[in-house]
Amino acid sequence: MEGTQVIWMVKKSGVTISEIGEDGEDVNRDSHRSSGYVAHRERTEESNKEGLQDVISSLTFTPSISKHQNISITCKILCDGKVKEKTFQHKRLYAKPTAPGPIKLSLTNSGEVLCSLDIEGFYPSDIQMKWNDKTSEQKKTYQNSDGTYSVHSEYEIPGRFFSHSDSVVRVSWKHESMEDWESREMSVRDKEFPWKANVQDIKVPNLLIGREAVLKCEVSNVFPDVLTVKWLKKEKGGQDLLPVVNSQTYSISELRPEKQKNKTFTYKLCLKFKPSDEGAEFICRVEHPTLEEPTEKSTGPLTIKDEESLIVGEIQGPRRWIHKEKVALYCSVSYCSEDTQVMWMVEPTHGRVEEIFNNGEDLLTDFGYMISKETEKSDKEGLLNITSLLTLIPSVSKHVGVIFTCKITSEGQTKTKEFQAKSICG
């Protein structure tokens, strides 16, 4: 009948700890204790008995492991001076596990790959885990402050496992709160795979007719330790790529891995020859499971010079830059004296030319510059070959249209070379 009142009660071990009235009605002296519960009169309508009504009331809340253990819910109805109660007791309380991140990979000292995954926020504590359909024994389960559980699971696989691009490591888990198994996968082609072969630009030295030159193709961050590197040649004006092999004309070094501190490998493949073909181009082609397709780096058409006292090559480096992705520019100087001075300068689109100084730190900071130098003896007594390196982190706001200049002064001679990026992508 009219005036029916519904009160919801939350009880723990038989003791009422919270009372919730419909649609904001405050029936609890400690009203803050009812936070998280919403009682609502869903419907009131005439019943099939004259003068009476049918009432539907709902209580909405989000279950919590820490809050709802041993909890019962009672609906108390007050109508025409009469009181009736109905109690609901849940049979089981569950929290469904979640995997907040991808599979993590790391390298062991022995060259194995340690795979791990964290599963969080489940209840009760029992959970099944499998790696590549094998039951995981290496897992550590711990309880969280909210009463739920988390697990850290590990699995070790051989380093050669990822030698094939279609190799996949899979971890699956099953909890009684779930209808079916869930899983995560990782392959060498996934963006989260921590190691991607990095093919560096080829440094082209100053080339002189009849004097031996060395081109170096370097690949870093290599894992797994499976790599194919080839030298190719394109004749001036041609389009065909011709394989370069050891011969009387060319000498190619043996491809050997160098293990780095981070347990990945670096490879260097050197090509020695005496320049003779003006405008020819040499290409280094690298194949690795982490690369979707072979990566190529080119020298560009070679410029060969007659012998002279001081030779300054063109500034080399990528012409297309990516915002906040490190860039390196090279300038090679041949047959210079020990007192040779190398100065890098930058000319903004609208502004005066400024000399670039090292930022004084070992690590390159955002939008800063770092200058380094490699020096070696030349084949002329008393003279040196110098390669000056300018490293920077480009900015769309700072470096669009900027011109970089390398100025070399040696024994009264001064030569300059300029470089400008074609584009910077944000």
- Condensed to tens digits (0 to 9), the pLDDT of residues 287-334 reads 999 999 999 999 999 988 776 678 899 999 998 998 888 899 999 998
Phi and psi of 39, rounded to 5°? -100, 135
Q: Which two tokens stand for residue 383?
A: 């003279």
Please tell me the predicted confidence (pLDDT) of residue 22. Answer: 85
For 115, 123, 124, 129, 197, the CA distances from 175, given in Å and listed in that order, are 21, 9, 9, 9, 38
Q: Is 125 a residue whose pLDDT tops 60?
A: yes
Handedness of CA 37, 30, 13, 5 (dihedral sign): negative
Q: Are 63 and 148 in contact (CB under 8 A)?
A: no
Closest listed residue to residue 199, CA positions, set 314, 322, 319, 290: 290
Q: Are 126 and 142 in contact (CB under 8 A)?
A: no
Domain 196-307 indexed as CATH 3.40.1260.10: no
Q: Determine the topology of domain 308-426 in CATH.
A: Immunoglobulin-like (2.60.40)
Q: Is 423 a residue whose pLDDT tops 70?
A: yes
Report the amino acid identity of residue 100.
P
Percent of the chain with pLDDT over 90: 53
104-187 and 196-307 in the same fold:
yes
Cα separation, 135 vs 132, in Å, equals 8
Which sequence spans correspond to the domains of the chain? 5-89, 104-187, 196-307, 308-426
Mean pLDDT is lowest, of 25-34, 117-126, 131-140, 200-209, for: 25-34
Q: Are 130 and 136 in contact (CB under 8 A)?
A: yes
Q: Is 82 a residue whose pLDDT tops 60?
A: yes
Closest listed residue to residue 219, CA positions, set 211, 210, 228: 228
Q: Is 30 a residue whose pLDDT tops 60?
A: no
Q: Which helix (H) or strand (E) holds 65?
A: helix 65-68
Pairing of strands 265-273, 256-259: antiparallel
Tokens 């990979």 locate to 105
Q: Which helix (H) or strand (E) holds 347?
A: strand 341-347
Closest listed residue to residue 28, CA positions, set 15, 19, 40, 37: 19
Domain range 104-187, CATH architecture? Sandwich (2.60)
Q: What is the mean pLDDT of residues 102-119?
A: 94
Cα separation, 35 vs 272, in Å, equals 77
Report the 10 Å Cβ neighbour count for 407. Answer: 16
pLDDT: is 266 or 80 the higher one? 266
Please tell me the predicted confidence (pLDDT) of residue 359. Answer: 52
* 240-266 burial code (b ≥16 CB/10 A, e <16): eeeebeeeeeeebeeeeeeeeeeebbb
Q: Is 365 a residue whose pLDDT tops 60?
A: no
Q: What is the pLDDT of residues 187-234, one digit of tens each?
A: 999 999 999 999 999 989 888 887 889 999 999 999 999 999 999 999
Closest listed residue to residue 105, CA positions, set 220, 224, 193, 221: 193
Q: Are 313 and 361 in contact (CB under 8 A)?
A: no
Nearest-5° Cα angle at 325, 387 to 357: 45
Q: Which two tokens stand for residue 207?
A: 């080339």
Cα separation, 130 vs 109, in Å, equals 25
